[in-house]
Structure 1
């Protein structure tokens, strides 16, 4: 378990955040944020005052990363790229999450290493990570200026016969029924979004198409919603293209694997972040995934 509750001892009365800075190497901002989140316990009671004091025994919950041996697909002095498997979270959802990509990154490169962007838990593929705080700022600025070009591969239902540009605004909001708790939809009140889709190969026996996806904006679930909007939902998508009843079952973790395969065509979302292209520190990079995504798709649907 990455989050560990550890018994500690302060030999003299002092500010709790100063103790964490001196003993565990946190910055003042980090130490005070963790205290405010209730990570420090005195007599089993969480201290949330950032200027609170400690003396004697107390307990502190901190993040202790673990590894599952996932090796980076590309590495430079300032950054590293992982090929994230489907099913692995980018960050823990809560302190009981057993493993996420941030575990692997911090285990291998230290506490200052950080992930600079997100992909969905079920989406596989490339994730760019900074090795230190300065490169984290530089890379996030690059994303903010949209200097990153990303390519995805998606295995979709139906015959996708020609290149298509979708420019439909996307809105993140609760469904009007208040039953479905997670939905992004095409809505004129939403944020401008643009994705270009290029068909690569059609599989007539499956009635499915391998499609290259080029998102020009980075909205949540953008590729999934745009493909659903043009009536080519991604194979294995448990949300878009599904009935409300089955969406609720999936969100409540009551949908069996067999039911999901029957409803959506696969037990995982067949979407893969396949390529990153960018300029950083006056050098161009074009990093491609080493995963044979088409082989994975065919294994899941045949």
Structure 2
């Protein structure tokens, strides 16, 4: 303990020395009797630290609650005894997590598939082998059996799954077709973001192709094909290229000069997006049981279709 820490509140001291725990979490642990000094339990978060004291803290294991079935609307593109392919709307979280404990795609699949989920890892649940960000729309496949789960994971690992995305980005990428090869890791300053990093990142490759440009290159429609599947990969890679996605609240900083080149109706649509302009357009994979190659395409979501129609009219 540093001399400057003498007399400090216990919850503040523990939070600083245990970066994986927030101050509210350390306070809750103290008040639950999980912290002691010299064998004596301390239950006051405001306890003032004394010289030479050491503290023991027991952090209970986190037990994940099993998600419950919820009858939510599902746009099912394909379903058979092994797999289900859905067209996910923007705003739907794929898997329960802190902050989104329910009303997720997994909850919806549990209700929709019911007894057809024969058990993955010994549990009757859908096998989520890839994810889409909450505000990314488009195609996603989930396994209904352990066999399908294993086969799809193998295909994703081997990079044999065909995934094609449509993104609306600021500006016109040059060259208009290319490959972005840049490792992705946690942003060094903002832990909520990912970034292209020089060290301790994971290999990531995105192939892109400009399909159309609007308003003299202020906005472009870009097709992206993933060779890897890193968190926020397309959003990070396109930002790294200098062409962030429209509406992206995390990476897509507004480009005022380009926005002003759009007519007011298009400006209003961009401002109203409220999410990154990204859609999982197509998905192809080998069926886990039959070996048949399956390929699916989805229509762009209404908000992106409306924006493109508006841009085309310029």
For the superposition of Structure 1 and Structure 2, which TM-score range results when normalised by the shorter chain?
0.5 to 0.7
Going from structure 1 to structure 2, the CA distance change for 1:272 and 1:263 (only over 3 Å counts) comes to closer
Task: Find 1:172's aligned residue among 186, 198, 212.
Answer: 186
Alignment partner of 1:288 is 2:270? no
Query: What is the CA-CA distance between 1:135 and the residue it aligns to?
Result: 1.4
Match of 2:142 among 126, 129, 132: 129
Deviation at 1:299, TM superposition (A): 7.5
Matched ranges for 1:141-220 at <5 A: 141-160=154-173, 162-175=176-189, 180-189=190-199, 190-204=201-215, 207-220=218-231
Residues in 2 aligned to 1:220 and 1:95: alpha-carbon distance in whole angstroms: 18
- Does the CA-based 8 Å contact 1:242-1:263 persist in structure 2? no
Is the alpha carbon distance of 1:262 and 1:212 closer, same or farther for their aligned partners in structure 2, counting shifts above 3 Å? closer
Cα shift at 1:77: 2.8
Query: In structure 2, do the counterparts of structure 1 residues 112 and 239 end up closer, same or farther at CA, with 3 Å as the change threshold?
Result: closer
In structure 1, the partner of 2:73 is 69
CA–CA separation in structure 2 for the residues paired with 1:94 and 1:299: 37
Partner-residue secondary structure (3-state), 2:76: coil
* Offset at residue 201 of structure 1 (A): 1.1
Q: Give the SS at the match of 1:73.
A: strand
Alignment partner, residue 6 of structure 1: none
Structure 1 length normalisation: TM-score?
0.67
95, 112, 120: which one aligns with 1:108: 112
Instruction: Name the structure 2 match of 1:271.
Output: 278
Q: Give aligned pairs, total.
A: 227
**Post-superposition offset of 1:174:** 4.1
Question: TM-score w.r.t. structure 2 length?
Answer: 0.64
Q: Secondary structure at the match of 2:235?
A: helix
Q: Give 1:67-106 correspondences, 5 Å limit.
A: 67-94=71-98, 97-106=101-110
CA deviations on 1:244-272 (whole Å, 9 max, x unpaired) are xxxxxxxxxxxxxxxxx899773111101
Deviation larger for 290-299 or 264-273: 290-299
DSSP-derived class of the 1:138 partner: helix
1:119 to 132, 142, 145: 132
Q: Kindly indicate which of the two structures has a greater share of residues assigned to strand.
A: 1
For 2:45, the equivalent position in structure 1 comes to none
For structure 2, the 5+ residue unaligned runs are: 1-60, 115-123, 255-267
Which structure has the larger Rg over C-alpha atoms? 2
CA RMSD of aligned residues (A): 3.0
Question: Offset of 1:220 from its aligned partner?
Answer: 1.1
CA distance in 2, matches of 1:193, 1:123: 19
Superposed displacement of residue 112, structure 1: 3.3
In structure 1, list runs of 5 or more residues that go unmatched.
1-35, 40-60, 244-260
Deviations 1:144-167 (A, max 9, x none): 222211100001111235112111
After TM superposition, give the deviation of residue 104 of structure 1 in Å.
1.2
CA contact under 8 A between 1:174 and 1:182: conserved in structure 2?
no
Quickly say closer, same or farther: Cα 1:235–1:220, change in 2 above 3 A: same
Q: Once the 2 structures are TM-superposed, how far is the Cα of residue 124 of structure 1 from its aligned partner? A: 0.8
